Amino acid sequence: MNASARRENLLACLDCALPEPTRLPAHSPRRLPSALGWMLLTGLACSGPGAALAAELAAATTTAAAPTTAAATPLAPLPPSLPAAKPSARPVATSPVKETTPAQDKATTWQTLTGWLTPPTATAKTPPQSNELNSSVARSTAVAAPGSSPARTLSMSPIPSTTTVGRFDPEFGPASHVVTDADQQTLQSGALSRVAPQQQFQMPEPEQESEQSAVVTDEPVSLVSWLSNYASGGHGHGDNSEACPDVCLTDNCCPTWEAQVDALFLWQGNIPSRPLFLDSATGATALNANQLYGPAAIAPRYAFIYNRDQCRAIEVNYFQVWGFNGQQQLGPQVDPAGDGAYEAANLVNPPYNTVSSATVTSSAHIQSFEVNLRRTDGGMIQWISGFRWLEWGEQLNINDTITQGNADVGGDIINVNTLNSLYGWQWGGDMMLWNAGRWLRVNGIGKAGVYYNHQAAQNTYYNDFFNPANTYSGSNDTVSFVGETGINASLALTNWLSWRAGYTCFWLGGVATSARQLGLTDVSTGATSVNTNGSVFLHGVTTGLEARW
């Protein structure tokens, strides 16, 4: 094959691998320089086979330009290689120079092109890694130019010990792998296909959820500052409803168990007005049921809280208070005729009069058991929702004496008992009003619910010393309301024990009270009913201890 045909054959082979935009028409004089420039850009001319291909193209160019002087004109110098790496301090092992025949050279050139132009099989790009050569190799290759003298050979300059070859990658820059001695020998034998850089696979690290723990700060936190922060878009301590507060609601942040034991000092207030005895001469009220105020009733209150995590808790609360004892004395007083100066204000039917004296006592009790779920939204409020059972009972005792002509001729005993059993669901919240760090906290609590009042009952016992004693009963199912609110302050004594003090109020509506049952019983016919329109108000102070562990 002559030089011109060999040149066209090489260019045709290279055109198959060149990108479409870089190809030039066959008649273009810049076709060969373009091919040589592409080889330099891709790095094909930096290895032994690439150098052989560049030499052939350069020889073909020289032959085509001056065919008559091909034997006498020296070949054009090869394009400069990339900068050589620093020589290794280790002994350099050299490989013997191999001479190739035109047929072997053609096969090597085609295999080199097809091997290097084969797209990589890797699916993900990985920054190429350089492999250090075990030794520096200096080799020269003799290539017989077609159509020239057999003695004419092309000498290659020694190849540096570390040579970079490969394509230009726009993501990683002119990065590539390094050809070793073994790679060079395989290239010359024509059995090497492009070796893609080793892909380093690294197992992705699992995403770890950031643990948000409650932290007690020494900076005071007030309700005003929290509301201003909420209004400005801060939403307390985060918008995430699953997030936990960064200001802990307890001293020991954050305990699994909390136990509270408080002493309740409760008074019954706002007793509804109900006249009991009237002045016979003027008709004015001589004794009213709202005068039956008594001392405080004292009893313990127990609360246990299990914190499932920093956001959710389960609370169990129980107390039972007996007392609320009240007593009032009326008389003795008679009119000028020696008859009792008072009359009963429709206590039972039929009414009676000429009462000279009377003693009225009252008592009551309240009992409550509740199981609540507590949850915080990441702010200063713990929302409360749960079941509650509450019992309220009252007793009213009236003993009077009937006097006629300055002589006691009889008397009446009236005992009225009422009982309310309430079952229902309540909702509320526990809000931090002030937090001065670890040593002082002030919080407000409120709970309310609508309850089913099962068998609100009243029992009326009547004895007038003239007729047999009888008991008259009535009951009714109704709907009631229970509300509880209060404020508590906690002072830390140790890191696990605090002293608590506060004020609490209870309001009950739609219940049967003893004073409202008066006048509903007709002792002559035995008819009776129950009135469930009463209300109860209890208030008082609480004090106790809180332990956390």
Task: Confirm whether pTM is higher than 0.75.
Answer: no
Backbone angles phi, psi at 241, to 5 degrees: -70, -25
State residue 247's pLDDT score.
Answer: 42
Cα→Cα distances 139→82, 99, 126, 392, Å: 16, 11, 32, 108
What's the whole-number mean pLDDT along residues 13-22? Answer: 58
35-44, 128-137, 251-260, 354-363 — most confident range: 354-363
Task: Give the pLDDT of residue 309.
Answer: 86
H/E stretch holding 493 reads: none
Which has the higher per-residue pLDDT, 265 or 197? 265
Higher pLDDT: 273 or 21? It is 273
Which of 249 and 291 is assigned the larger pLDDT? 291
Instruction: Number of helices (H) and strands (E) in the chain: give both, helices first.
Output: 6, 18
DSSP assignments along 285-313, one per residue: EEEEGGG---PPEEEEEEEEEEESSSSEE
Domains of the chain by start residue, with CATH: 3-82+98-118+138-189 (no CATH), 221-548 (2.40.128.90)
Residue identified by tokens 């609320």 is 324
Residues 6+ apart with CB under 8 A from 33: none
pLDDT at 71 over 70: no
For residue 51, what pLDDT band results from cuts at 50, 70 and 90?
low
| Average pLDDT value for residue range 54-58 | 57
Strand 497-511 with 285-288, pairing: unpaired
* Integer angstrom CA distances of residue 301 from 164, 298, 384: 84, 10, 18
Neighbours of 52 (CB within 10 A): 23
Query: Does the pLDDT of residue 381 top 70, yes or no?
Result: yes
pLDDT of amino acid 540: 96
Which of 10 and 533 is assigned the larger pLDDT?
533
Q: Which candidate, 190, 195, 188, places its Cα nearest to that of 95?
A: 188
Return the H-helix or E-strand segment holding 49. Answer: helix 48-65
Q: Which amino acid is at 331?
A: G
Instruction: Determine which of 64-78, 302-316, 412-426, 444-458 has the lowest per-residue pLDDT on average.
Output: 64-78
- What are the tens digits of pLDDT across the range 489-523? 999 999 899 999 999 999 999 999 999 999 999 88
Residue 16 pLDDT > 90 = no
Who's near 260: CB < 8 A, 6+ residues apart?
A: 301, 302, 303, 304, 305, 500, 544, 545, 546, 547
Rounded to an integer, what distance in angstroms lies between the CA atom of residue 185 and that of residue 342?
A: 132
Helix boundaries (H) for 181-280: 181-189, 223-231
Beta strands in 464-532 (DSSP E): 470-492, 497-511
Across all residues in the chain, what is the average pLDDT?
Answer: 73
Check residue 210 and give its pLDDT. Answer: 44
pLDDT one-digit tens code per residue, 333-369: 999 999 999 999 989 888 888 999 999 999 999 999 9
Mean pLDDT, residues 399-404: 93
d(CA 113, CA 108): 9
> What pLDDT, on the 0 to 100 scale, is given for residue 299?
96
Out of 51-65, 142-156, 452-466, 485-499, pick the least confident: 142-156
Mean pLDDT across 446-452: 97
Least Cα distance to 546 among 255, 254, 260 occurs for 260
